[in-house]
Amino acid sequence: MTVDDTARSKNTLSDSSGRAPGSSALLTDQYELTMLAAALRDGTAHRPCVFEVFARRLPAGRRYGVVAGTARVLEALQRFRFGPAELAVAERFLDADTLAWLRDFRFTGEIDGYREGELYFPGSPILTVRASFAEGVILETLILSILNHDSAIASAAARMVSAAAGRPLIEMGSRRTHEQAAVAAARAAYLAGFTTTSNMEAARTYGVPSGGTAAHAFTLLHTGPDGPDEEAAFAAQVAAQGPGTTLLVDTYDITEGVNRAVRAAGPELGGVRIDSGDLGIITRQVRTQLDELGARNTKIVVSGDLDEYAIGALRAEPIDVYGVGTSVVTGSGAPTAGMVYKLVQVDGIPVAKRSSHKETVGGEKRSLRLARSTGTIVEEVPYPAGSMPAVPAHLTATELQIPLVRGGDTVPGLPGLEQARTHLQRAMVTLPWEGLGLSHGEPAIATRFDAQARR
């Protein structure tokens, strides 16, 4: 496997407990295993099937989504093994034949999908799994839990990057989510264009650039019998990290904090961070103050419950770097991507749900994205696999799915994290201008299923 951030994410848990090393097999729902058991019993388990991942709609008001987590899915798939510990859980409700099948399980099918960093829209066939029913059905939760989480984070982060208009963003949301979700969130935010993360595990596992200096606790630590000594705290930080560090100046009084920061570090102070107050008014005052103190190159970093709307509102202010935490890692800022995993074909026969508001389109699909000669995308066209839609002469078409897994093995040479990050930067430029708006609206382009594509 050559996805650059996948090899680093191998879990090396000891198997002394009987676990398959780092097994992902129980990151699933029980109904997948009970369906497997029933299909093995009635002989339908080995029918060739096609499953697809897609989103019926985008979160309310969103104009586009960003695919993220594909490399994590492929890595987790390689660890989808049932050792004694996993089988001990499953044997509580499964029969001996199903347990034997799980004991020998290794995915042998094929997977195609949108590359990481690609935009997606309602109905986009983001991932296609071709395998027996047995092999495909037990992957549903594993695939959806990763893609839904990472794509939600990346989609929210991309909006913040757009709102920041070229200024760096720091992901600092680890303390607001599950400890492992924080690592995945840092990766997804970096993919979407964030510059650094505060999360050290993300730095180790995925090579995401890390950054961080000090919190209010360090300033408060420097309190003695005579009261707080903010300047001593700043001097200690500068002594340890050099004058290029960023000092947090809003523990007490911001104006005095800035004076003390420049006295402690000199006019070459790297930055000041402000975490509270009316950031628009305060940053203008602080910029003037820094310039008057001769610290013209000192950057202003702001944080404190920022989201894309707050960042957009501050675009005209003298802010150099944004620190974003809660809104990029939680449901309020990154609502679920709403992806589903549906069976669409059995033995070459299209199958579809007819449930109200949950209808599906049967049959395996591919997808083209159409664009004007300027590069601006205008439409996405899913179509039946094995056929080809007609493309108007004035438009260009890009095939969106790429091979990801063949014969159960990850395809060599897949794009890595840095390539996904670059791809998204280029893809964002192709959106119609209204697609970059932060106001609520319809998806940036329409998705049109072409059932009449030529075979």
Model pLDDT for residues 436-447, shown as the tens digit of each residue: 988 888 999 999
> 149 and 253, same structural domain?
no
Average pLDDT over residues 131-147: 98
Domain with residue 71: its CATH number is: 3.20.140.10
Alpha-carbon distance of 261 to 10, in angstroms, equals 43
> 310 and 194, same structural domain?
yes
> 349 and 324, same structural domain?
no
> 186 and 274, same structural domain?
yes
Average pLDDT over residues 67-84: 97
Tell me the chain's radius of gyration from C-alpha atoms. 25
> 234 and 311, same structural domain?
yes
Rounded (to 5) percent helix, strand, coil in the chain? 35, 20, 45
How many domains does one find in the chain? 2
* H or E element at residue 288: helix 279-292
Which candidate, 350, 346, 378, places its Cα nearest to that of 365?
350
Q: Residue 11: its pLDDT value, please?
A: 38
Q: Is the pLDDT of residue 77 over 60?
A: yes
Q: Tokens at residue 198, please?
A: 């505060």
What percent of the chain has pLDDT above 90? 88
Angle between helices 230-241 and 254-265 (to 10 degrees): 40
Q: Tokens at residue 212, please?
A: 């961080």
- Residue at 290: amino acid letter: L
| pLDDT band (50, 70, 90) for residue 21 | low
> 300 and 386, same structural domain?
no
Q: Which pLDDT tens digit goes with each residue over 370-399?
A: 999 999 999 999 999 999 999 999 999 999
Is residue 377 situated within a structural domain?
Answer: yes
> 175 and 139, same structural domain?
no
Q: Of 248 and 12, which is predicted with more confidence? A: 248
| pLDDT band (50, 70, 90) for residue 450 | confident
> 297 and 283, same structural domain?
yes
Alpha-carbon distance of 84 to 95, in angstroms, equals 15
Q: Is the pLDDT of residue 47 over 90?
A: yes
Q: Residue 455: its pLDDT value, please?
A: 63
Q: Is the pLDDT of residue 356 over 80?
A: no
Is residue 12 situated within a structural domain?
Answer: no
Range of the domain at 343: 30-154+334-447
- Residue at 227: amino acid letter: G
Last residue of a domain, one of 269, 297, 330: 330
Contact assessment for residue 50 and residue 113, using Cβ atoms and an 8 Å cutoff:
no
Q: Residue 354: its pLDDT value, please?
A: 82
> 117 and 197, same structural domain?
no
- Residue at 72: amino acid letter: R
Average pLDDT over residues 252-260: 97
Average pLDDT over residues 245-263: 98
Q: Is the pLDDT of residue 12 over 60?
A: no
Domain with residue 309: its CATH number is: 3.20.20.70
Range of lowest pLDDT (15-24, 151-160, 282-291, 421-430): 15-24
Task: Dump the DSSP string for 32-87.
Answer: HHHHHHHHHHHT-TTSEEEEEEEESSPSTT---EE---HHHHHHHHHT----HHHH
Q: Which pLDDT tens digit goes with each residue over 414-433?
A: 999 999 999 999 999 999 99
Q: Residue 60: its pLDDT value, please?
A: 85
> 185 and 289, same structural domain?
yes
Is residue 24 situated within a structural domain?
Answer: no
Q: Residue 10: its pLDDT value, please?
A: 41
Is residue 15 situated within a structural domain?
Answer: no
Last residue of a domain, one of 262, 296, 330: 330
CA-based torsion, 175, 176, 179, 183: positive or negative: negative
Average pLDDT over residues 401-412: 98
Q: Residue 440: its pLDDT value, please?
A: 85
Q: Which pLDDT tens digit goes with each residue over 195-247?
A: 999 999 999 999 999 999 999 999 999 999 999 999 999 999 999 999 999 99
> 220 and 95, same structural domain?
no
CA-based torsion, 91, 94, 95, 101: positive or negative: negative
Q: Is the pLDDT of residue 16 over 60?
A: no
Is residue 341 situated within a structural domain?
Answer: yes
Is residue 453 situated within a structural domain?
Answer: no
> 176 and 128, same structural domain?
no
Last residue of a domain, one of 302, 330, 358: 330
Q: Residue 7: its pLDDT value, please?
A: 38
Is residue 190 situated within a structural domain?
Answer: yes
Give the mean pLDDT of the chain. 93
Alpha-carbon distance of 268 to 188, in angstroms, equals 33
CA-based torsion, 278, 280, 285, 290: positive or negative: positive
Average pLDDT over residues 102-110: 97
| pLDDT band (50, 70, 90) for residue 55 | very high
User: String of b and e for 103-118 (b: at least 16 CB within 10 Å)?
Assistant: eebebebbbbbbbbbb
Is residue 142 situated within a structural domain?
Answer: yes
